[in-house]
């Protein structure tokens, strides 16, 4: 066969030359990254040593960051010796904040985080049905309430991210069978419903956002993992080398539609034997084909802000069953039946665990990732699913022979997506503080 | 449930500050990238306009690149007006070169490419069995011959990359069932066998390298694709956003061990129903369980260098069945039987195509990639496999409902991996020309 001529690779975007004007931006962002990663107040002297920049440059940059409410002065951890405690620079708990909104199996959620990544507001409301305009106008009301609540703490919400259970392109939900949505322009609907708030809005897959939430929550100790979001549907968020792998069009991680049994049960998507038909909440509850949940009585609204919990550290701490606690979730029904020894439910959980293990094995063979976090509803059902799933992983992941696979519940539980959404919003400021500073300057003129 | 405090993300490596000394390096590499991506001679004036750097800076950088044999002067494409043709800078066809070596189903291959990415030498030898020291000492001899051959063209091979059919870590082949290898330190064996050549050697999975070969060959018009390498085993190389996705440990793309039928045929890996048991060459030839190929008579060595083909453009052009042509490959046996209407072979090809489609559907649902290239042996069998595979993809890939999947043969055929290996070697110089320049200066002192 002909060997065609091989041509050189073309770097798509030759970088910009480094000149004086962007040197200022680069160095400001460099200093901010060091303050961000320090995780404690850090002195100007230390910053000079870490960055190699001169002390006057550090002082000038610190003034800019202080004026923009991105950092504050704080006491450097006491050295133990006598003398006055030194002061240092640390991230501000006032100033810019990020909003997250989530549409999930059991209702709607809103979350605000500050620049330090601390949750400052978390609210939940039971589902208002599946009609898109209704759902999004309810979310808009929750967004308004969240913005008002944190304004009392001198926080300004600058951007919002909406989590949706399906693939998204440019704000349009292409398919969310859990909600019966197809080509719903959730971004436009939410922008219309929040136009009085003048808020930039991004829309992203909930499993991707939940994976980012877990990445933050782990303090980046987890470098690469698959986050499985169980619920009405099943999605996955993929983190590789500390980065979310969104795929070519942002539609990666459609684990629920990976074939487990080629000649298996029909799925609403048009295929057969999809994981979703064996391991969704509906499938475990015994109502697989339609993908809809039986009505669960007793769902109950609870909301709260972090300041109400009286946490002294400025970090939200919610008690068990607190903000996200709802009387009778599908997960509670399943665990109730399983604990009572219900044979059908136990068999359904076994089937789900095995199917999950088979689909995940393929995923890990493809991705080369060795850690699986069971999130969303699966974080609550993990003890019933893990054993069968692990048996399949051990047998079917090629590299498991010399590099064992870890499978465990996710840290943040069902709140991972809304927290991840809020963190994604604030991350825009964390990554590009100069954008915020420029806007502040323009406003103050 | 408790919501743990969410902590800020930590950028793992705060970048270096930009100072005068690395400004020189950054600007040299910026200019070199523009010459690289131009694909034609480019004038100093154009480079100044593109980079925003001053003309004296461009002149100084050009002198450094010319002295290091990284670029040459060439005629800028004639404008059509009268007057002397302007001169410009273009990549050198002399100077540094990269070596690729490949262990494949039907034998061993070696390839040298120059800085422009042009293949300057391509040689093939039939397999010398599966014994690792034998295989690697044969490859060492081919490496020596390749280096000597291109030295006549003023090319200096600076680094080598070895392609192996299995997951690799730090030069050790963890598992290559096609060769019966497990934990073979191919890197160390090849370094020992080539110690007289003083050549840095990297070892990488062949499907990954073949995917890179295809990426280069497509001139980066393909941004994201899955390259399926069929052969004794089945592997995949994943390119996402123009980058190879190697996974957390470099073991991504183990498509051959993705489960297709959970209760299916046992696989030598210890699992059941792996794609490999339905779609490897051995499976199609009717010898699936052991994963070994029946002896094929008539295998024949052919070697050649690009200069022998008399190509006038400096680009190697090999005739059909030329350098890589071997009398009776497994692929030739299969296509011969299929064309003669052999019912067993046709049924085996149908089974293979269906199994391939099922496994690929899961892969595309996970990765969100819409293009599949059938490579290696599959590039020769594509017409027999594609129809069944496409039927499964259309049914089982969720996003296929609104974004069709493309499946087609790869461009480079069975040579993709060895060409990709050579390109990976030279890419080190292309990405970091200053490393080469520093070394040149040290040698000339």
> DSSP 3-state assignment of B335?
helix
Residue pointed to by tokens 């074939």:
A259
> DSSP 3-state assignment of B164?
strand
Residue A175 bridge partners (DSSP): A182
Q: What are phi and psi of B400, to 5 degrees?
A: -60, -20
- pLDDT band of B233, cuts 50, 70, 90: confident
User: What average pLDDT score do residues A273-288 get?
Assistant: 89
User: What average pLDDT score do residues B305-321 get?
Assistant: 33
User: What average pLDDT score do residues B33-58 get?
Assistant: 91
Look at A301 and B91; give whichever has higher pLDDT. Answer: B91
For residue B116, the chain A residues in CB contact (below 8 A) are 8
Distance CA A218, CA B19 (A): 34
C-alpha distance from residue B120 to each of B49, B109, B140, B198 (Å) = 33, 14, 18, 21
Q: What's the number of CA atoms in the CB half-sphere (13 Å) around residue A48?
A: 11
User: What average pLDDT score do residues A26-36 get?
Assistant: 92
Q: Does the pLDDT value for residue B157 go beyond 70?
A: yes
CATH topology of domain B95-427: Nucleotidyltransferase; domain 5 (3.30.420)
Question: Which residues have CB under 8 Å from A58's CB, separation 6+?
Answer: A31, A44, A47, A48, A51
pLDDT of the residue at A287: 64
pLDDT of the residue at B394: 97
Q: Per residue in B322-355, pLDDT tens?
A: 334 445 788 899 999 999 999 999 999 999 999 9
Of the candidates B118, B242, B396, which has its C-beta nearest A5's C-beta? B118
For residue A34, the chain B residues in CB contact (below 8 A) are 14
Closest CA–CA distance from residue B445 to any residue of chain A (Å): 31
Chains A, B: CB pairs < 8 Å = 330
pLDDT of the residue at B3: 37
Pairing label, strands A201-205, A225-230: unpaired
For residue B9, the chain A residues in CB contact (below 8 A) are 36, 117, 215-216, 220, 423, 427, 430
Q: How many helices (H) and strands (E) does chain B have?
A: 13, 16
Q: Does the pLDDT value for residue B401 go beyond 80?
A: yes
pLDDT of the residue at B26: 87
Q: What are phi and psi of B342, to 5 degrees?
A: -60, 115
Count of other CB atoms within 10 angstroms of residue A349: 23
Helices marked H in A196-340: 206-217, 276-279, 281-284, 330-339
pLDDT of the residue at B21: 63
Look at B53 and A6; give whichever has higher pLDDT. Answer: B53
Q: Does the pLDDT value for residue B189 go beyond 70?
A: yes
Is A4 within 8 Å of B217 when comparing Cβ atoms?
Answer: yes
Reported ipTM: 0.81
User: What average pLDDT score do residues B351-368 get?
Assistant: 98
Question: Which residues have CB under 8 Å from B366's CB, separation 6+?
Answer: A236, A238, A252, A253, A254, A255, A258, A362, A363, A366, A367
| Alpha-carbon torsion angle B418, B189, B433, B123, nearest 10 | -30
Q: Which residue of B has its CA nearest to A424?
A: B9
User: What average pLDDT score do residues A302-323 get?
Assistant: 35
Answer for the pair A365, A285: CB distance below 8 angstroms, yes or no.
Answer: no
**Sign of the CA dihedral B356, B361, B366, B371?**
positive
Class of domain A35-76+86-92: mainly alpha
Q: What's CA B14's distance to the chain center, in Å?
A: 32
Burial level of A344, CB count in 10 A (0-12/13-18/19+)?
Answer: exposed
Average of per-residue pLDDT values in chain A: 84
Distance CA A426, CA A97 (A): 6
pLDDT of the residue at A440: 73
Distance CA A123, CA A101 (A): 10
**In chain B, what's the furthest Cα-to-Cα distance?**
80
For residue A9, the chain B residues in CB contact (below 8 A) are 36, 117, 215-216, 220, 423, 427, 430
Q: Per residue in A205-244, pLDDT tens?
A: 999 999 999 998 887 689 999 999 998 789 999 999 999 9
Is A269 within 8 Å of B242 when comparing Cβ atoms?
Answer: no
**In chain A, what's the furthest Cα-to-Cα distance?**
80
Q: What whole-number percentage of chain A has pLDDT above 70? A: 82
pLDDT of the residue at B84: 59
The two three-digit tokens of residue A437, written as one number: 């500073």
Closest CA–CA distance from residue B70 to any residue of chain A (Å): 14
Q: Which residue of B has its CA nearest to A32?
A: B14
Distance CA A248, CA B239 (A): 10
Distance CA B204, CA B201 (A): 10
- Test the B interface: residue of A2, A9, A239 with most B CBs within 10 Å: A9
**Residue spans in chain A of domains classed CATH 3.30.420.40:** 95-427
Question: Which residues have CB under 8 Å from A105's CB, separation 6+?
Answer: A178, A231, A232, A281, A293, A329, A330, A376, A377
Is B248 within 8 Å of A368 when comparing Cβ atoms?
Answer: yes
Q: What's CA A388's distance to the chain center, in Å?
A: 27
**Sign of the CA dihedral B369, B375, B376, B381?**
positive
Is B259 within 8 Å of A396 when comparing Cβ atoms?
Answer: yes
Distance CA B3, CA B6 (A): 8
> DSSP 3-state assignment of A318?
coil
Of the candidates B6, B14, B242, which has its C-beta nearest A119's C-beta? B6
Of the candidates A30, A246, A250, which has its C-beta nearest B17's C-beta? A30
- pLDDT band of A39, cuts 50, 70, 90: confident
Distance CA A411, CA A217 (A): 7
Of the candidates A241, A395, A413, which has its C-beta nearest B1's C-beta? A413
Helices marked H in B296-432: 330-339, 343-367, 377-396, 416-431
For residue A30, the chain B residues in CB contact (below 8 A) are 14-15, 17
Could you tell me what percentage of chain B is helix, strand and coil, using 3-state DSSP and rounding each to the nearest 5? 40, 20, 35
- pLDDT band of A443, cuts 50, 70, 90: low
- pLDDT band of A82, cuts 50, 70, 90: low
If phi over 0 gives left and psi between -120 and 50 gives alpha, with beta otherwise, what is residue B80? left
Q: Does the pLDDT value for residue A295 go beyond 50?
A: no
For residue A269, the chain B residues in CB contact (below 8 A) are 398, 401
Among residues B10, B4, B51, B1, the alpha carbon closest in space to that of B28 is found at: B51
Among residues A95, A120, A123, the alpha carbon closest in space to that of A109 is found at: A123
Is A33 within 8 Å of B17 when comparing Cβ atoms?
Answer: no
pLDDT of the residue at A77: 57
pLDDT of the residue at B369: 97
pLDDT of the residue at B16: 55
pLDDT of the residue at A394: 97
pLDDT of the residue at B239: 96
Question: Which residues have CB under 8 Å from B101's CB, separation 6+?
Answer: B108, B109, B110, B111, B139, B142, B143, B160, B161, B162, B163, B190, B418, B421
Of the candidates A53, A117, A415, which has its C-beta nearest B7's C-beta? A117
Is B6 within 8 Å of A271 when comparing Cβ atoms?
Answer: no
Answer for the pair A374, A405: CB distance below 8 angstroms, yes or no.
Answer: no
Q: What whole-number percentage of chain B has pLDDT above 70? A: 82
> DSSP 3-state assignment of A195?
helix
Answer for the pair B258, B356: CB distance below 8 angstroms, yes or no.
Answer: no
Distance CA B276, CA A365 (A): 13
The two three-digit tokens of residue A55, written as one number: 């002390």
Q: Does the pLDDT value for residue A13 go beyond 60?
A: no
Q: Per residue in A91-107, pLDDT tens?
A: 999 999 999 999 987 78
- Where is average pLDDT lowest: A419-428, B212-221, B288-297? B288-297
Q: Does the pLDDT value for residue B367 go beyond 90?
A: yes
For residue B213, the chain A residues in CB contact (below 8 A) are 6
Distance CA B246, CA B244 (A): 6
Closest CA–CA distance from residue A4 to any residue of chain B (Å): 7
For residue A271, the chain B residues in CB contact (below 8 A) are 361, 395-396, 398
For residue B313, the chain A residues in CB contact (below 8 A) are 5
For residue B14, the chain A residues in CB contact (below 8 A) are 30, 33-34, 37, 50-51
Is B255 within 8 Å of A366 when comparing Cβ atoms?
Answer: yes
Q: Does the pLDDT value for residue A376 go beyond 60?
A: yes
Among residues B45, B96, B46, the alpha carbon closest in space to that of B71 is found at: B96
The matching CATH number, chosen from 1.10.3720.10, 1.10.10.10, 3.90.230.10, 3.80.10.10, for B20-92 is: 1.10.10.10
- pLDDT band of B442, cuts 50, 70, 90: low
Question: Which residues have CB under 8 Å from A151's CB, separation 6+?
Answer: none
For residue A247, the chain B residues in CB contact (below 8 A) are 224, 240, 367-369
Average of per-residue pLDDT values in chain B: 84
The two three-digit tokens of residue A329, written as one number: 């979730």
pLDDT of the residue at B81: 56
Q: What whole-number percentage of chain A has pLDDT above 90? A: 66
Is A17 within 8 Å of B27 when comparing Cβ atoms?
Answer: yes
**Residue spans in chain B of domains classed CATH 1.10.10.10:** 20-92
Question: Which residues have CB under 8 Å from A444's CB, separation 6+?
Answer: none
User: What average pLDDT score do residues A355-365 get?
Assistant: 98
Answer for the pair B166, B130: CB distance below 8 angstroms, yes or no.
Answer: no
For residue B411, the chain A residues in CB contact (below 8 A) are 4
End-to-end CA distance of chain B: 68
Is A317 within 8 Å of B2 when comparing Cβ atoms?
Answer: yes
Q: What are phi and psi of A59, to 5 degrees?
A: -60, -45
C-alpha distance from residue A397 to each of B256, B327, B362 (Å) = 11, 37, 15
Q: Does the pLDDT value for residue B267 go beyond 70?
A: yes
Answer for the pair B245, A241: CB distance below 8 angstroms, yes or no.
Answer: no
Look at A332 and A315; give whichever has higher pLDDT. Answer: A332
Distance CA A288, CA A277 (A): 6
Q: Does the pLDDT value for residue B177 go beyond 90?
A: no
Is B113 within 8 Å of A423 when comparing Cβ atoms?
Answer: no
Closest CA–CA distance from residue A418 to any residue of chain B (Å): 12
Is A255 within 8 Å of B317 when comparing Cβ atoms?
Answer: no
Of the candidates A1, A175, A236, which has its C-beta nearest B413's C-beta? A1
Q: What are phi and psi of B285, to 5 degrees?
A: -75, -5
Distance CA B328, CA B334 (A): 10
Q: Per residue in A388-434, pLDDT tens?
A: 999 999 999 999 999 999 999 999 988 999 999 999 999 989 988 98
**Residue spans in chain A of domains classed CATH 1.10.10.10:** 35-76+86-92
Q: Does the pLDDT value for residue B288 go beyond 60?
A: no
pLDDT of the residue at A42: 93
Among residues A163, A166, A206, the alpha carbon closest in space to that of A183 is found at: A166
Q: Per residue in A176-214, pLDDT tens?
A: 877 889 999 999 999 999 999 989 999 999 999 999 999
């Amino acid at each position: 066969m002909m060997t065609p001529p091989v041509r050189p690779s073309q770097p798509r975007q030759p970088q910009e030359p480094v000149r004086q004007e962007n040197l200022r931006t680069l160095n400001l962002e460099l200093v901010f990254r060091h303050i961000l990663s320090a995780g404690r107040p850090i002195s100007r002297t230390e910053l000079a040593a870490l960055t190699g920049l001169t002390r006057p440059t550090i002082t000038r940059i610190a003034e800019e960051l202080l004026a923009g409410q991105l950092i504050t002065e704080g006491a450097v951890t006491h050295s133990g010796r006598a003398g006055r405690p030194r002061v240092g620079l640390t991230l501000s708990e006032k100033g810019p904040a990020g909003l997250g909104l989530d549409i999930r199996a059991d209702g709607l959620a809103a979350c605000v985080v500050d620049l330090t990544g601390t949750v400052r507001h978390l609210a939940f409301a039971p589902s208002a049905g599946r009609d898109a305009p209704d759902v999004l106008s309810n979310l808009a009301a929750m967004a308004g309430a969240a913005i008002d609540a944190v304004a009392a703490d001198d926080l300004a919400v600058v951007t919002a991210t909406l989590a949706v259970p399906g693939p998204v392109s440019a704000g349009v939900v292409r398919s969310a069978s859990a909600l019966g949505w197809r080509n719903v322009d959730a971004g436009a609907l939410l922008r219309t419903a929040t136009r009085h708030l003048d808020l930039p809005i991004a829309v992203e897959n909930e499993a991707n956002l939940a994976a980012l939430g877990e990445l933050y929550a782990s303090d980046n100790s987890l470098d690469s993992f698959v986050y499985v979001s169980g619920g009405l549907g099943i999605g996955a968020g993929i983190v590789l080398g500390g980065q979310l792998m969104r795929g070519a069009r942002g539609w990666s991680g459609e684990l629920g539609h990976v074939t487990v049994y080629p000649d298996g049960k029909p799925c609403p998507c048009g295929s057969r034997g999809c994981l979703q038909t064996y391991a969704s909440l509906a499938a475990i509850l015994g109502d697989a084909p339609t993908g809809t949940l039986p009505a669960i009585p007793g769902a109950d609204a609870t909301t709260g802000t972090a300041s109400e919990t009286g946490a002294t550290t400025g970090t939200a701490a919610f008690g068990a069953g607190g903000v996200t606690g709802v009387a009778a979730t599908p997960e509670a029904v399943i665990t109730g039946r399983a604990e009572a020894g219900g044979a059908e439910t136990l068999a359904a959980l076994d089937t789900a665990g095995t199917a999950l293990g088979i689909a995940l094995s393929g995923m890990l063979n493809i991705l080369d990732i060795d850690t699986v976090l069971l999130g969303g509803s699966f974080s609550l059902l993990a003890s019933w699913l893990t054993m069968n799933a692990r048996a399949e992983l051990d047998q079917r992941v090629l590299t498991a022979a010399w590099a064992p696979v870890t499978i465990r519940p996710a840290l943040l539980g069902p709140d991972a997506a809304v927290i991840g959404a809020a963190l994604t919003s604030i991350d825009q400021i964390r990554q590009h503080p100069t954008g915020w500073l420029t806007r502040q300057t323009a406003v103050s003129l």
